[in-house]
Amino acid sequence: MTKIREGGKKLGMAMQCRLQSLPLLPSTTAMAMVPQPLLILLFSLSLLSIVNSSPSQHVQIVDAERRIDLTSHIIKVYLTLKVENLGTSAASEVHLAFSPTEVEHLATLKAAATSGKRKKKTYVPLDVKSAEVPDGPNGTKFFSITLLTPLSKGETTTLEVLYILTRSLEPFPVEISQSESQLVYFRDSAILLSPYHVKQQTTFIKTPSTRVESFTVVNPTKRAGTELKYGPYENHPPYSYSPVLVHFENNNPFAVVEELEREIEISHWGSIQVTERYSLVHAGAQHKGVFSRVEYQTRSGGSGVSSFKYLLAKLPPRVHSVYYRDGIGNISSSHLRTDSRKSELEIEPRYPLFGGWKATFVIGYGLPLQDFLFESPDGRRYLNFTFGCPLVETVVDKLIVKVVLPEGSKDPTAEIPFEVKQHLEIKYSYLDVVGRTVVVLEKRNVVPEHNTPFQVYYGFNPIFMLAEPLMLVSAFFLLFVASVAYLHIDLSIRK
């Protein structure tokens, strides 16, 4: 196994110094044109000259443990921080720092305060918001965690942080044949990028298999099975950075939905109709050469190991009238499993998806109204539904959720536990007069952790439920009157 030892060691030692001043990084447009390895190098060099200051010079991280999960194409980072206040004034917040590359791929960030040990450990969610640190490195993004109670001098607290990165694994080689495994690069830092002095820290990197082609060594570094351990490292000043590169095998499906439109149509006559339009792509290494279906079917364990043939969608319980089709027509290769708590739909595209291949399809189903529509104490009605994508282990580049309210609804408002773009539209359907109000929610870079409930509130006068039946009765009545008139009127020409 090749190990990048000397170069990684020297570069890691060079990055671990106190930072003095900051040269300007390229503009956003220029940075988009710079390859990622060069971008990381520019960022690392800029950290060498940052001013030796931090958002709070009286706060230090006593211990930091970071666990990076690379077993999927969705990277999950679990960070445990033990924070201590060394100053005389109370500290009410703790800042997190992210490099420009991480900011570009950051999907979600959560934090919680912990107390107790092991089975008795409790978690209390904390508010996390974007922050500005004037003396931080150019291009670095900061977030502040608001503590439950301010830390007095000498006090410590433990924080648990989870953040998720998407599209951060680089296939290399970028093209593979049907019989080859998929290898990817992962770039990060062995040293935690932080605006605080870090007394002790350790980083663990977990890979999906034991096949690791190479990795940067920043002593002490150990490897055991599928895990790499960097550290422990002691006494690193603010904004220390030590780039590492891991080249490993990852044959998990790189399922990315480029665009997903979910339309949720509410009918007060007893049902909710959901229509989901997918534009799916395999975002892994590009497929090269000719595809052999015979080889793919006869050598299922050694051919096309990085492709995926099945997808699993987790639907709400008590679904009915489920269909799955594409531009050609209905696709019968699907299996639905339902019970009182959940519904799972296993779908199979018309062909297996290799790197760079795409597929578009539609999933539709009905739901009982009483399970998702409720009435609030102020008399308004509200829909309680799940945001996000039903497909398991899938990244959505652009998600559009459209909630179609009954005709006559007024003053709609949406409550979502994270930031999304919102606007209203009007949709016309059968027998509509003024049209139906549509609440449109849009979010980019969506991961499974965004599959949380959201609510749409609206006012509705029950008299509007009689509009369509009255229109139908009126139409039949007019038709009846016209028929009677026609039968009793003599239109013949007599001499």
Q: pTM of the full predicted structure?
A: 0.82
How confident is the model at residue 207, as a pLDDT?
96
* 435 touches 428 (CB < 8 A): yes
How confident is the model at residue 48, as a pLDDT?
44
Q: For 418-455, what is each residue's pLDDT tens digit?
A: 999 999 999 988 776 778 899 999 999 999 999 999 99
How confident is the model at residue 213, as a pLDDT?
95
How confident is the model at residue 301, as a pLDDT?
62
Closest by CA to 44, choosing from 67, 65, 66, 25, is 25
How confident is the model at residue 35, as a pLDDT?
52
How confident is the model at residue 299, as a pLDDT?
67
- Ranges of the chain with pLDDT below 50: 1-34, 45, 47-56
Place of tokens 């109670």: 149
How confident is the model at residue 435, as a pLDDT?
84
How confident is the model at residue 306, as a pLDDT?
85
How confident is the model at residue 331, as a pLDDT?
78
